[in-house]
Structure 1
Amino acid sequence: MPIEILGRRTSRRVMLGGVLAAPALLTGRAARAQEPVDIELVLAVDVSRSVDEVEQELQFKGYAAAFRDPRLIEGIAGGPLGQIAVTLFTWSDWHIQELLVPWTRIDGRAAAHGLADALDAAPRRTWLYTSISGAMDYAAGLFGQGYEGTRKVVDISGDGVSNSGRPVAEARADALAKGIVMNGLAVIDRSPQPWAAGMPPLDDYYRDEVIGGPGSFLMVAEGFGSFESAVKRKIIREIAIAPPPGPLVERAYA
C-alpha cells in the first residue's frame, strides 16, 4: 500500500541524499542477506493442457507427500548446514509461470510440513502450451534471492516436449553457464495421444535436451500414478550431501 509523504522537497532531498551517501552500505546489506544453505532447489511443475485436473492433483499431492516423508527430512538434516532452500512454480506457455511457494528455508520437520501444507492450499490452474525453455529461463532468474547454496538445482517435471518459446538448447546453455544443474522428471503416458504423433519418446527427449550439468539425472514416472514415488526418490537424491553415482535415468512404477 503506498504511503503518503508530506513535504515533498524535504523528503526528496533526504531520500536522494541517503541513496547517494550510502551505496556501499546498501551493497553490503544485500551481500549479507544471502543465507548459506546446502542446496537451492527450484521445483518447476508443468500445468499445460496435456495435464488434466486429476493428473495435476497427483503432481501437487506428490510434491506435498515428498516433504512429509521422514527420509527427506532426515536427508536435509544430514547435510553440512542441515538446511536447504526450496521454491516452487508452475509453468506452461513461454510467458506463463506462477510462483506458488516463494523461497523457503527447510531445516526440519515443521518447515517441511509447512511447505507441504502450502502446496495443499495452492491454486490449481491449467494453461495451454508447453514451454520448457520458458520454465528454464524463469527458474534461472530465481536464484540469489536471500540464499546461497553450495549447489543450484532446477527440477523440471512435465509430460510433453517443448512447443512454445525459444529453443530449449539455448535456455539450457544459459542456465548451465551460470552453474545451474538441470534435472528432469518426465511423466510417461502410455495411452496414445494424437498431439504426440511424430514426436520423440519423452524420456529420450528429456535425457538429451533438458537435463545437464554436473551430476544431473532424469527420473521417469511411468504414468501419473507413479508420480509420488518418483518425486520422493528424485528430491531425496538431489539433496544428498554428495550425490552418489547413480544411473543417468531412473524409473518409477505405480
Structure 2
Amino acid sequence: MIQLEALTRRFDRQTAVDSVSLQVAEGETLVLLGGSGSGKTTTLKMINRLIEPTSGRVRLFGEDVAGMKPYELRRRIGYVFQRIGLFPHMTVAENIAITPTLLGWDAARISARVDTLLELVELDPAIYRDRRPDALSGGQAQRVAVARALAAEPRVMLLDEPFGALDPLTRGRLQQSFLRIRQTLQLTAIFVTHDVMEAILLGDRIAVMAAGRVKQIGTARELLEQPADESIRELINAPWRQAEIATQRLHSGDGAA
C-alpha cells in the first residue's frame, strides 16, 4: 500500500531523513518510533508531500506520488496533526466537511457523512455538530480531528503524535477508539509517536528511528527478542509487560487502559 524507497531529506547541511526504505501492507499500522530529531515527522510529511524529498521515492497504491498533484494526493490521505489543527471559526460539522466540499460532494451526502463520522468517533451529532472548537475538550477536539481526516473515505491515514498532549485517561480512550476505527474501516496507517507504550499498543510493526535512519523494523516481540542492538532491547523491554496488560484491556473494550 505504501512504499518508501531510499527517502532522503536535507535542510541546508543537515540531513533530517537519511535513505529510509520501508513498506506498509494493506490494513497494517506501522508506527514510526523515535525521539525528537529522529526524522519521524519529516518522513511522514514526505509521504503526502507537505515536505518534498531531496531524493528517493514514495509510492502509494503502487503509484509514484511525485507524479500526482499535491492537493489531489492529500485528498486521498487522511492526516491527523500533532496539534489538532481545527479551524476555530468553523463549526465541528464545517471542519469535518472541508475535504468533501472541495471534492464537490452534494450537501446531503456531506451532511450524512458528518453525522456518520461523529457517531464513529463517539460524539453525538445532535450535540456536537454545531459547536465551535473552543467549546470542546481536548479529547473531543482530537476525535473531531480524526473524523475530519476520515471525511473523504481515505484508505490511508497518517497520524503525527495525535494523542501526545492529552491526559493519560483520555489518551487511553482515544487509543482504544483508534484501534476500533482502524479495524472497522480496514485502514492502512502510519502512526508517529515517541511513546514506546503507545507504539507497542497500536502498531502491527514498529520502525525505530534515530538520527534520520531506521535502525530496525519489526513487531514489538521481534524487537525485544531479536534486537539489532542492545539499545533497542532496552527501549522495548521496560514497557513490554505493562503493554501486554494494557493491550488486553484495549482489545476487551476496557477504557481503563
Instruction: Give the TM-score category using the shorter length.
Output: 0.3 to 0.5
Please report the TM-score for the alignment, with normalisation by the length of structure 1: 0.34
Please report the TM-score for the alignment, with normalisation by the length of structure 2: 0.33
Report which of the two structures shows the higher radius of gyration computed on alpha carbons: 1
